[in-house]
Each structure stands twice: as structure tokens, then as C-alpha cells.
Chains A and B, each alone.
Chain A
Amino acid sequence: MPFPPMRQLGLAFAGAAASVVLAMSPAFAYRIVVSNEKDNTITVLDGASLNILQTVNVGARPRGIVLSKDGKSLYICTSDADHIEVLDLATLTVTRILPANHDPEYMALSGDGNTLYVANENNSQVSVLNIAEGRITSEIPVGVEPEGMAISPDDKTVVCTSETTSMAHFIDVATHAVSASVLVGTRPRFAVFTRDGSRVWVSSEVAGTVAVIDARTHAIITTIHFDLPEVPKAAIQAVGINMTADGKTAFVDLGPANRVAVIDTATFEVQKFLLVGQRVWHGAFSPDQGTLYVANGISNDMSVIDVKNLEVSQSVPVGQAPWGIVVVP
């Protein structure tokens, strides 16, 4: 991507300065892990220097990744291997294989860290996985091509989006029953609860929209559109969403539009479009929320976004077809 070399140098310098600070307060050190769908690896980067620490070989087609609640393990949907791999983050080795049924794509982890809700893209169901026992305890039928998975802050509701059915399914955690199915824009990809649990944001890939759903009444409060005249409409595909901890700002990854939209969550207005790498899919914040990292599936890199100044400061090459991204504090 065409980022000015001056800026990269400046950031490298800032990075060097930051690492000095880090040496004094190691609590600030963190790592960034990226799943690479096409070369079957996980890239592990140092958060301060953005250098690649290690590239770990994992099973076929790693896509959705989620950090365990204790921060010690990474759960990896290795979709074509039809299971979930557990990467030990101390040794960077895969230590466990968990069953996941066919084609796991993305997952949500319960608040107590004991249960994974896994979207099985190719067989229209959500698998409920007891992590300690390594056993699937339940299978919940949902729409065609389930992908997005989110769990409410109170742990009572799981939302699953089904891409071909174009619905957000609200699943009652206690009964595993689908309590509501909300029709949203075509090909919903991702869901996230607001921090207070009152709303669910659902992105739609083909419609290129984000629906904001009332988590209690299941009514759509508004549908956010992205107006980018210079980009073909088919390329405006809403996928990953990251919300700041204060709940005021949402970053929506727009896929092959190669942009991240910055949205004011009070007004639902787009404040800015940030030009990033090609086919931006998912992102993750640094622990201090000062930086957002996004994975670009076609340009095989990760863009680094300065959250305060809303600027893209750098791009860092990772593996092939980077998909998911997680920050390990």
C-alpha cells in the first residue's frame, strides 16, 4: 500500500521509543495475532515494534480466532480441518484439538470462558462446545451459512448471523432456543453487542449496510449506509466491526472497498473513511485502545490505525489472506 516512507520511518522511531518505555513497564507489552486463511498459519507480531515474532503452522483454512478469558490460549477455527485448534500463547504450539463439527468459521466465547458457540458455515447450525470436556453438548439449527457470532455481556443471549438466510438469530443461552430471527440486509457477516448489551450491530456484506438492532425488542433501530461514490457499489461490503470501550465510536471494515468507516454511535453518522489495505475483514484494538489493527485479505497485510487522530499510520505484511485478528495483552 502506498504509505509515505517518511511516516513509516517516523513510526518506527516512535516504536523504538515505545519499546524503551515497555522495557520499564512490561505490563504494557502485548502481541498481535493474525489468522491467515490461505497459507494455514497464525502470524504473531510484537505490539510495540510490529515485528513478526513467529509464524505458526496450524490446520487448514484458519479463519475465526478468539482469545481465551485467561489470555493464555487462542481458539482457532481451522475451517477445512473441521475442528478448533487451541494455540498455547506461551509456547506458540497447538496443544489441543477441539471438535467443532463441519466447517467452523467463527465463534463466541461465554463470559466464564467455558463455552464456545461455533458457527458451522456449511451445515446451518451453531455447535455448543464445552471447552474443558472437549465435547459438543448441543447443536442449534440456524439459517443458511451461519457466520457472525456474538454473546451478550450478561451471557444470556447469543446472536448468530446467517448469510444466505439474511437473518440475525437471537439464541437463548439457557434453553438453546432461537427466540427471534431478525431479517437484515443481504449476507450478514458479523454481529457485536454494545457494551451495555442494549443493542446489536450487524454488518451485511452484499447489502453493504449495518443494522442496529434493539436487543430487547428485536426491532431494527436504524440501518447505516456507506456512501462512497468513488468505489463500485459491489465493493462496499460491511464485515468486521470494532467498538471503542467508551461506546462512542464504531469502526466498520468495508471489505474490498479497502476502507474502514468511522461511525459516531450516537448519531449513526459516518465521520470518516480510512483508506487501508485490500479487502479489509476484521480488526482488533490495542489494550489501551489507542490503535486499531485490521487484517487485509488481498494485500496480505495489516493496517495500523491511529484511533485518536483517525489516521492510517502503517501497513505491516503478514501471511496469505489474513482474516481474523486478536490482540493478546
Chain B
Amino acid sequence: MASGKPGRKMRSDGGGFALPIAALMLLPCVRSATAQNSVTIDYLSLAPQHAAPSAALGLLATDTGLRGAQLALADTNTTGKFTGQSFTLRTTVGRDEGAVKQAFADALGHGQRLFVANLPADVLLALADMKAASGAIILDATSRDDRLRGADCRANMLHLLPSRAMLADALMQYLVVKKWTNIMLLTGRDAGDKLYADAIRHAAAKFQISIGADRPWIFNPAAQQADTGHYQVNDEVVRATQGVSYDVLVVADEADNFGDQLAYRTDQPRPIAGTQGLVPSAWSPIMDEYASTQLQLRFRALANRWMTDEDYGAWLAVRAIGEAATRGGSAEAGKMISYMRGADFALSGYKGPEFTFRAWDGQLRQPVLLADSHSVVSISPQPGFLHETNELDSLGPDQPETECHFHP
């Protein structure tokens, strides 16, 4: 943190980063021709598969992630005008995994080293493991997979969004504060749901929350859409939650298949948390603390919709590159990569403290919001969850527990 390193805001000569007017006046004509001061970032994603939203109010956007990257690019270019640096985003939306791999390999072949990825874990690993990628950096803007920060971590990858373990820890800390220490866990069928449930179980053990019942949700998620389907859903939810004593129903349903249909239908009146209800998340459209109103307004002006976690992760990724160029004083990829990993790097993400990357697993440290659809209920880490070096490290695997061992 800033106060621990009094000198970090100053350059080694003790002076500010000042550019004389003459240099600035020359920028438009000179800099564009100088490759050294122009930074190209490759943004890689897969074409979204069409999916009907489970509720009529669901977001139909197909450009989540990309819009966040574009906003960060605009923000960074505004700053770049004063440092003589310009930034370009080259976007690849691959129709399948093969197309993304090809685009990545081609870019590496042209000497590109800076990548922002909105890709699933397996594709990320395939890219990171390409031989030519060893000197590159892949900023994983959207994944929440703990294995990418653990056993499957890679030295050439950084992770912008909180992992499932961080989300689960954030929620459990809040339940401890509220003394709601007995939960029921209801898990959907998708692979992500099982990983989310695993993270909840691990966090519950860590924070001494007991799990009164741990059940799968097996009912057909489409029933709600049938005429009079709500009666059926109500009966199913009562059955699924009967005979259990618990304080909070925690749901693991990452794709919104059924989680929104639990509240007000449980056997006993109990709040819902997890992937629906009180949701631990990187971002929320309702967030307006720490000057985030400005970010929300800029995003809405650009994208004409709310900012999602994926947009926020991609915004952070491009801002991280911009910050490394501005503060590190170099647009050379190698220097920017080491600056991002270094002790002087700090990113402002509209959630209070400055964000930094954990050296042991490449995860961006940050607070986690706990919000329902219309309010930010709390922000974790909760006060009192102390950590010997950084309270943000009370979320997710800390250095002693990490399963990540980078192989150089």
C-alpha cells in the first residue's frame, strides 16, 4: 500500500513526470511514427453462443467484456496524450477454439506480447502453453476458475476478476459478521455450479460456517415459463428445502437456470445468497461508492447497457496495461510486463484500495462486492478479518495455501 512505500509516487530523481510543452506540441506528428510509444493490445474472445435469458429482464448483450476493454482503451488514450503514448485494441472474436489459437499464434509471430483474453480455462491454458508465448502476458479478464490460480497456474498469465474462492470467502466473511453461521447449499447441474459449490464448501470450512444440508437441484429449470408453472416451481422449492434447519440458502447456479426462482418460495422464510440473491461479485451496476458513478456513467454512454463483471474485468485488464505504460514510463512490452508484476504497480478500480497482483498466483487483489439487484449490501473483506500484510489477502488462497508453483 501507498503509505508503506513513501517514495513510490515519485520518480527516482525525486521529480514529477513532467513533459515540457515543446514535446507535447510535437506529439501528434512525431509519436504516431514511433512504434516505441504506440501500444497494441490484442483482445481475444470466442463468438458467444446464442442463449435465451432465463428471465425477461435478462441481459442479451453479446459484447460483454469487449465494451469494458474499449472504455479502458479510451480512458488510457486520454492519459496517453499527456505521456506521448497511444494505445490500440485489436479484437479477435474467434468462431471456435482453433480460430482463437491461430490468431494468437499469428500475433505472437508478429512480435505481439500483450493479450487480454475473454476465454474459457482450457483455451487459456492452450494459449499460455504455446512455446512462443513464454515472453508474452495473457491478462485473463473474465475467468473465475480457481485451478488457473492454483494447480494449473501459468507464469505468463494474470487474472483480473476474483476467483470463485475469493467470491465464496467474501460471502462467508459477511455471514460470520451477521452470525448467520448455518447454511443450506443447493447446487445446479452445470460444471461451473459444481466448482462454485466446492468454493462455498471450502470457504464455509475456513470460516466455520456449518452446512446443514447440501443438495443438488434436479428440477427442470424451464418449468417457470410454462403457464401456471409458478405453482409447480413453488412446490419443488418447498420440497427441496424441507426438513432442514439453516439461516441462509446458498445457491450455486452460475447460468441463472433456477436460482432466481428460489426467493419467497422456500419452506421456511430464509434469505438467498450465492449466485443469486445476495451475490458476491467483482462489480455491480448498482455500485456507486468510491466515485464509481463516473465509471458507470462513462460505460453506459459507450455501451448503452449496464456494466457486467466481464466488462469490469476487461476494463481492469486494459487499464493495467495503460497504468504500466504511464507509471513505468515505457511502452516496451517487456518493461510493462515486469512493471505490472512489480511492487510499484497499483490500479485504481473504484472499490476503495489500490489493486495489486499477488506474486504467488497472478491474481489481482481487490475487494469483493456483496450486492442484490438494487443495493450494495456490503463490501468484503469485512472489518476485523485481519491479515499480516494485506487485508485483501483474506479473500482467496493466501501464499501459504497456494497450489500454484510457477515453472519458469
Contact = CB atoms under 8 A, between A and B. Distances in A.
A220 B78 contact: no
B57 interface: no
Nearest to A182: B16
A225 B383 CA distance: 22
Interface in B1-39: 1-3, 6-7, 9-10, 14-21, 24-25
Given A163-B291, A167-B82, A220-B9, A180 B18 contact: yes
A169 B21 CA distance: 11
B205 interface: no
B320 to A, nearest CB: 13
Given A182-B17, A208-B3, A220 B10 contact: yes
Contacts of A143: 78-79, 82
Given A164-B348, A217-B15, A183 B353 contact: no
Contacts of A162: 78-79
A232 interface: yes
A187 B82 CA distance: 16
B95 interface: no
A93 B15 CA distance: 47
A227 interface: yes
A185 B9 contact: yes
Contact of B2 (A124, A179, A185, A218): A185
Interface in B53-95: 75, 78-79, 81-83
A213 interface: yes
Nearest to B22: A179
B152 interface: no
B2 A209 contact: yes
A166 B15 CA distance: 15
B78 A181 contact: no
A185 B1 CA distance: 12
Chain A interface bracket (under 10, 10 to 19, 20 to 34, 35 or more): 35 or more
Contacts of A236: 3
B101 interface: no
B346 interface: yes
B82 A213 contact: no
A219 B18 contact: yes
B352 interface: yes
Contacts of A124: 78
Contact of A207 (B7, B17, B19, B354): B354
B218 interface: no
Interface residues of B, number: 39
Contacts of A167: 79, 82
Contacts of B19: 180-181
A228 to B, nearest CB: 9
A186 B24 CA distance: 22
B79 A223 contact: no
B82 A122 contact: no
A145 interface: yes
Nearest to A165: B79
A140 B354 CA distance: 29
Interface in A134-148: 141, 143-145
Nearest to A232: B383
B276 interface: no
Interface string A176-209: 0111111111110000000000000000111111
Interface string B272-313: 000000000000000000110010011001000000000000
B187 interface: no
A85 interface: no
18 contacts: A121-B294, A143-B78, A144-B75, A162-B78, A163-B294, A165-B75, A165-B79, A165-B82, A181-B83, A184-B16, A205-B291, A209-B9, A211-B16, A217-B15, A218-B15, A220-B16, A234-B352, A234-B353
Interface of B: 1-3, 6-7, 9-10, 14-21, 24-25, 75, 78-79, 81-83, 290-291, 294, 297-298, 301, 326-327, 346, 348, 352-354, 367, 383, 391
